[in-house]
Amino acid sequence: MSIKAYGATAADAPLLPIDITRREPGPHDVQIDILYCGVCHSDLHQVRSEWAGTLYPCVPGHEIVGRVSAVGAHVSSFSSGDLVGVGCMVDSCQSCPSCDESLENYCTGSGFVGTYNGPSDDAPGHTLGGYSQSIVVSEKFVLHIRHDEKDLAAVAPLLCAGITTYSPLKHWNVGPGKKVGIVGIGGLGHMGVKLAHALGAHVVAFTTSPDKKQAALDLGADEVVVSRNDDEMAAHAGSFDFILNTVAASHNLDPFVGLLKRDGTLCLVGVPEHPHPSPTAFNLVFGRKAIAGSLIGGIAETQEMLDFCAEKGITSDIEMIRIDEIEDAYARMLKGDVKYRFVIDSKTLADA
Ligand code: NAP
Ligand code: ZN
């Protein structure tokens, strides 16, 4: 099936309309009409080849929500008309120790197959993502959406920003009695604030943008710190159980390590183009502190996060765009000028 999409043919080329093909659904496949797709900073990193290995044409998009339009003969948990989501993965080896624990995101067999830029038998030989009218995905990698249909556009970012923050918050036991920092109040960070608050923690938002102070409180932060203000930072020295760092650019981590309690953890989820300067060992050894990382989340945990958010009424704060506004959206995302996630209205692809 030939459909419309938006993609780039080179790292320095703008995103433009392209026609792509989707396979006919196989016995275990779900075919989805895409209704909305979130715009993640990873889309920008990859389409501009800021990380190694981008394959062109590149059609980004891994915060996909839509409606099932057809299912294969052996699909048991989805039917035509269902509202569903697809996140950052569309396949994995299904047999390694990580896949056995539903941690497909850490698949050590073939590695997980990304929703775009991953290996594929379908043309053009790599996967093409959600800046497109439809997608065909193996049933195992499709999620049920249980929010109200009217909230669907604001659910899209949960498929990456939501799970990428939920998974480490759960892994490091964030909850009542814990003091938690969220660094960078962008797409991931604003979900981190909402989720850490919903999990019952005392939440401190760290931002480089003083004008986001009130907005961060409105998201559920108990306190807000402008991270470039040394006095505001010093007031929190040695007090955090856990800090989640979502910043998309290289920066000095030492000031955040200094805010951890003994045995505290600074977890990185931001993956900047250029590495952070090496942290100072002294700051880690005095206090047995850890710097860790976390990558999205497994399929079972993604469903758990979606259901948790549906139950608590949690969605993303979004600004809807037309697909032909995507380059402008990227420029604004680079300036931190979005509250807090752009979401593409996929019906605008019809005019592309
Ligand atoms: P985003 O919406 O652009 O948010 C990043 C935030 O970082 C900005 O809003 C800004 O918040 C802060 N920031 C501070 N200095 C910055 C600078 N010089 N340049 C850019 N941002 C700066 O990005 P996102 O979509 O949340 O993604 C954040 C990072 O996580 C990206 O690197 C992305 O690739 C990565 N990511 C990782 C995973 C994973 O599984 N680990 C999954 C998805 C995305 P303030 O204005 O509040 O300072
Ligand atoms: Zn993402």
pLDDT tens per residue, range 286-333: 999 999 999 999 999 999 999 999 999 999 999 999 999 999 999 999
Residue 280 domain-assigned (yes or no): yes
Buried b (16+ CB within 10 A) or exposed e, 185-214: bbbbbbbbbbbbbbbebbbbbbbbbeebbe
Ligand nearest to the CA of 63: 2
Residues 85 and 231 in one domain: no
Distance 249 CA to ligand 1 centre (A): 7
Cα(130) to centroid(ligand 2), Å: 11
Closest ligand 1 atom to residue 39 Cα is 25
Residue 304 in any domain: the answer is no
| pLDDT of res. 278 | 95
**Is residue 108 located within the same domain as residue 13?**
yes
| Token digits of residue 225 | 């710190």
Q: How far apart are the first and last CA of the chain?
A: 17
118 and 199 co-located in one domain: no
Nearest-atom index, ligand 1, CA of 161: 43
Q: Stretch 27-46: mean pLDDT, rounded?
A: 98
User: What is the reported pLDDT for 352?
Assistant: 85
- Closest C-alpha to ligand 1, atom 19: 249
Does the structure show a pLDDT above 90 at 18? yes
Ligand 1 neighbour 271 (Cβ under 6 A): yes
Determine whether the shortest distance from the Cβ of 145 to ligand 1 is under 6 A: no
CB 221 within 8 A of CB 190: no
Same domain assignment for residues 128 and 204: no
> Is 308 part of a structural domain of the chain?
no
pLDDT one-digit tens code per residue, 54-82: 999 999 999 999 999 999 999 999 999 99
Is 138 part of a structural domain of the chain? yes
Domain final position from 261, 293, 325: 293
Is residue 302 in a domain?
no
Within-domain flag for 207: yes
pLDDT tens readout for residues 136-149: 999 999 999 999 99
Pair 148, 195 in one domain = no
- Looking at ligand 1, which atom is closest to the CA of residue 296? 40
Q: Are residues 30 and 125 in the same domain?
A: yes
Q: How far is the CA of 234 from the centre of ligand 2 (A)?
A: 32
Distance 333 CA to ligand 1 centre (A): 9
Helices and strands, counts by H and E, the chain: 11, 17
Same domain, 51 and 119: yes
Q: pLDDT averaged over the chain?
A: 97
- The bound ligand whose nearest atom lies closest to the alpha carbon of 189 is 1
- Are 13 and 155 within one domain? yes
Residue among 42, 183, 250 to mutate when testing ligand 1 (max atoms within 8 A of CB): 42
- The residues, any chain, with a CB within 8 Å of residue 285's CB and separated by 6 or more, are none
d(CA 267, CA 94): 27
Determine the atom of ligand 1 nearest the C-alpha atom of 41: 25
Confidence of residue 52 (pLDDT cuts 50, 70, 90): confident
Q: Does ligand 1 lie within 6 Å of residue 47's CB atom?
A: no
- CATH code at 269? 3.40.50.720
Which residue's alpha carbon is at the smallest distance from atom 34 of ligand 1? Answer: 42
> Per the structure, how many domains does the chain have?
2
Same domain, 105 and 41: yes
| Residues 8, 154 share a domain | yes
What distance in Å separates the CA atoms of residue 107 and residue 103, rounded to the nearest whole number? 7
Vertex 184 angle, CA 180 and 188, to 5°: 85
Residues of the domain holding 225? 161-293
Residue 40 CA: which ligand 1 atom is closest?
A: 25
The reported pTM is 0.97
Judge if 272 and 337 occupy the same domain: no
CATH number at residue 131: 3.90.180.10
pLDDT for position 237: 97
Indicate the top mutation candidate among 269, 294, 317, 321 to test ligand 1's pocket, ranked by most ligand atoms within 8 A of CB: 269
Dist. CA 3 → ligand 2 center (Å): 23
Q: Which ligand is nearest to the CA of 295?
A: 1
Could you give the percent of the chain with pLDDT greater than 90?
A: 99
- Closest C-alpha residue for ligand 1 atom 29: 270
| DSSP string over 251-306 | ---HHHHTTEEEEEEEEE----SSPPPPPPHHHHHTTT-EEEE--S--HHHHHHHH
- Does residue 245's CB lie within 6 angstroms of at least one atom of ligand 1? no
Residue 194 belongs to a domain: yes
DSSP 3-state of 233: helix
Question: Is 62 a pocket residue for ligand 1 (Cβ < 6 Å)?
Answer: no
- Domain assignment present for 301: no
Residue 197 and residue 126 share a domain: no
Euclidean distance between CA atoms 81 and 297, whole angstroms: 26
Q: How far apart are CA 288 and CA 256, in angstroms?
A: 14
